[in-house]
Structure 1
């Protein structure tokens, strides 16, 4: 029997101990940072980037400068982030927003890229290829940052759904553009006609959409049949299908990112069992991916070089915020007769996040000459304009009159098999100007089977009685049959806008119109 020999590997147990120690501390600090982020109204991505900078050569001294590894791990993190976004998105919330969001992710991206490219070519004296590359890198938005700020300032679903769908859709075309333009910037490369580049992007997007829908539907149907009773194993299977969609798409040379998002969207809305479990699992993976990604990007950045790009970053950022984003919103939504207030909010809410910083590593890995400065510029731009745009978002929403006075949120309960009994649980936040104030519980007249089970007021919770009066600032916990969920939400919204006579006022008005006159006043 051959004797065992000792082989020296690249990583020792001491290295493992250090990695686990640093990684655990970083995750604990990142988890604690969420509370700071919530209180300050600043997206947590800035804190995670700060952790990375503090650990890098400007702080603790950890050396990390591998753009190739950053790109690979960044793509892996984006797959998990898109999977979490698709699995947690309700189709009913974004259905009416899909068409404008799709245009924002295509026409809007093209407009944004062209505007930034013209300014970069004119004022930064860059070639057209590098100018277009910079515009493409900065074209992707981050809805997670927007919702982190607006979690306490609810906006209408037509807007939240559009931002959510746009963030899920626009990563795919932007990645394709950045990769193609990076290749065209290589020495000796012949620029392809714009129409050929556009055709290639459209074909890859269409292919990615087909792969995502097929993998999501077929995989979900198969998983429903073969999965056992373990919700943990079922959750692993669901998330694995979203990763499989990316792998199949990438192997077929179509958009793997779009395939991932659409597969997750299909899986999250096809009525699979254990929905709360696999959504919670995907959310946890998404958080880990975001924390790891932002910390890694902070490690890659050199704080001693960033100030050199501050002026250019502010110039391009102002063009992006004040010109490119508004023009892309108008060009994409004018066909839907969208109110100017909605367009103004969408323009301001186009926050940039991790995707542009990850994409800034693509030309570095491809070897595109004279692009090393792009990473620094994009990093500074994301940090500066997150600070500029994020804190005022609640104020902007209120000034534009876009905050809702009553807002319902789905509640996922893992302790109760809600899918099996066909029930949904909602929390309803009663705003400061909602006309639900003063309405008694029995006056709500909710659909059959729906009822208010708990009221939280001034930090104290109690079970309401029939004559309990609702107040401003209350949080209501409502249990409703799944088939009556939409009617329950509509009833709550009607009461919030019109008060306790909501149903009577609507009926009387419609009756008066049918008679050709005005409804009679009741004594």
Structure 2
């Protein structure tokens, strides 16, 4: 690729990214799942639209699996352990037994109603049996549901990819290999158990390392945490285990431990998750051929209705009745079994394996995802209200966000009062900082203190000062002046002018700009 071609590719990629972001905003405003518009961007850009030809199923499989790893890492990092720890057993049963029940029911329906042979019918059932983590995380968190319901569906979507992938691989190779149920079950247990162990071990190593090692910049902490998640994914895959389970559990453990800069890590992970979703869905939109989709509409509707009205409800009923889950919650969990990128990615496995009719499955699954996400996604909140899980007047849970100070036109300064500084013994009100500058927190002997006007500053205090960009310089000058000559600094002709050398710093204490330091 020449340099000019690279520029064209980057220009095209940036335009697609911005178009996808605009699509996400539009989807949010009209109440549609954003994945549908991401898919639409891919279709528009593709060979029947703007003419970009992409037909490499093997590359799509590799890139799609990698994107799913990032999405699941983000899902784990942003999932509350307190919401899911009591739900591991039902979520695990749904992710294993539930997948098996769904495969059998959907496969039988496809065989008898569509006339597919058993291998292709069970393969189709396996492909669509997994709920999609990206779709669930993106859609379900916008509905004010009880944490038990949300946690169960999210945990299931994080766990059920691994069993589904195993079944898809089994049915894709059924034409050339002898089907051995004992081997399939053993392989399933190995992938789940070893993947979980690797994910937990890597997470504990990551937590231990990040608690002991001080990195030189805040932005390195999110990169390190995501890096540990990728290591868990790759290590499990190299061991023949489930990288999907490993990456999700690694993210779940690290996201719920007390690590430095958790807010920054969460924001970075969410951005990375969005980028992975955009790339994944746009790529999958490119993979399909729109002119071939109309022939698959009938089959997609039949399989989707079997899945929505029979396979999913039966699997939920079989799996959750032993856990005494109320029927209203079971009904909602059944309806909330969203399909998204995962089934479309899984269709690339039989295509790569050369299974006859696999390309037709791609179009069936693509249409099924689009049509039934349009049906299920916008109806989640009304369904929850109909079932009495949320009240009509119930507000959504508060979402507390961390905004960069520069967005607010503010700056955060830190200062430690050194031994001998004239700031020692000065009351907050006596500082007379230029408004609106304010000392909003003092760390004294390891204890956080919210100061008042009469709070006396002491040697060793660490001050957190919020000021505006316009008054920052005046604030620093006043602090230097009082640090040098005390509360009556102006009477002594001291106005805090910067002085060269370290002596002035040692007299007054070192004021640092936290925002600037973090960017470096």
Q: 1:393 to 1:371 in 2, by over 3 A?
A: same
Q: Show the counterpart of 1:306.
A: 293
Alpha-carbon distance, 1:226 to partner: 2.1
Q: Show the counterpart of 1:172.
A: 162
- Is 1:15 matched up with 2:2? no
- Is 1:383 matched up with 2:370? yes
Alpha-carbon distance, 1:26 to partner: 1.2
Q: Show the counterpart of 1:98.
A: 88
Moved more, 39-48 or 117-126: 117-126
Note the alpha carbon deviations across 1:51-97, whole angstroms, 9 max, x for none: 11111111111111110110011011001001100011110111222
Alpha-carbon distance, 1:224 to partner: 2.1
- Is 1:242 matched up with 2:195? no
Give the TM-score normalised by the residue count of structure 2.
Answer: 0.75
- Stretches of 4+ aligned residues off by more than 6 angstroms: none
1:227–1:234 contact (8 Å) kept in structure 2: no
The residue correspondences of 1:193-232 to structure 2 (distance < 5 A) are 193-232=180-219
The residue correspondences of 1:46-445 to structure 2 (distance < 5 A) are 46-146=36-136, 148-185=138-175, 189-403=176-390, 405=394, 407-409=396-398, 411-413=400-402
2:71–2:133 contact (8 Å) kept in structure 1: no
CA distance in 2 between counterparts of 1:191 and 1:392 reads: 43
Q: 1:88 to 1:381 in 2, by over 3 A?
A: same
Moved more, 361-370 or 83-92: 361-370
Alpha-carbon distance, 1:413 to partner: 2.8
2:195–2:242 contact (8 Å) kept in structure 1: yes
3-state SS of 1:153 partner: coil
CA distance in 2 between counterparts of 1:370 and 1:344 reads: 34
Q: 1:270 to 1:148 in 2, by over 3 A?
A: closer
Note the alpha carbon deviations across 1:330-376, whole angstroms, 9 max, x for none: 11110111111101111111110000000000111122233221111
2:103–2:126 contact (8 Å) kept in structure 1: yes
Corresponding residue to 1:44 among 31, 34, 42: 34
1:77–1:293 contact (8 Å) kept in structure 2: yes
2:70–2:276 contact (8 Å) kept in structure 1: yes
3-state SS of 2:259 partner: coil
Note the alpha carbon deviations across 1:184-232, whole angstroms, 9 max, x for none: 23xxx23222232122111111110110000111122123212424221
Alpha-carbon distance, 1:122 to partner: 1.6
Number of aligned residues: 408
Alpha-carbon distance, 1:28 to partner: 1.1
Note the alpha carbon deviations across 1:454-475, whole angstroms, 9 max, x for none: xxxxxxxxxxxxxxxxxxxxxx
Unaligned runs of 5+ in 1: 1-10, 417-448, 452-523
CA distance in 2 between counterparts of 1:346 and 1:313 reads: 22
CA distance in 1 between counterparts of 2:139 and 2:202 reads: 33
Give the TM-score normalised by the residue count of structure 1.
Answer: 0.75
CA distance in 2 between counterparts of 1:295 and 1:382 reads: 14
Moved more, 75-84 or 216-225: 216-225
Alpha-carbon distance, 1:142 to partner: 2.3
Moved more, 396-405 or 285-294: 396-405
CA distance in 2 between counterparts of 1:301 and 1:237 reads: 36
2:144–2:397 contact (8 Å) kept in structure 1: no
1:116–1:324 contact (8 Å) kept in structure 2: yes
Moved more, 318-327 or 152-161: 152-161
CA distance in 2 between counterparts of 1:153 and 1:258 reads: 25
Greater Rg, structure 1 or structure 2? Answer: 2
2:70–2:272 contact (8 Å) kept in structure 1: yes
CA distance in 2 between counterparts of 1:96 and 1:409 reads: 23
Alpha-carbon distance, 1:415 to partner: 5.9
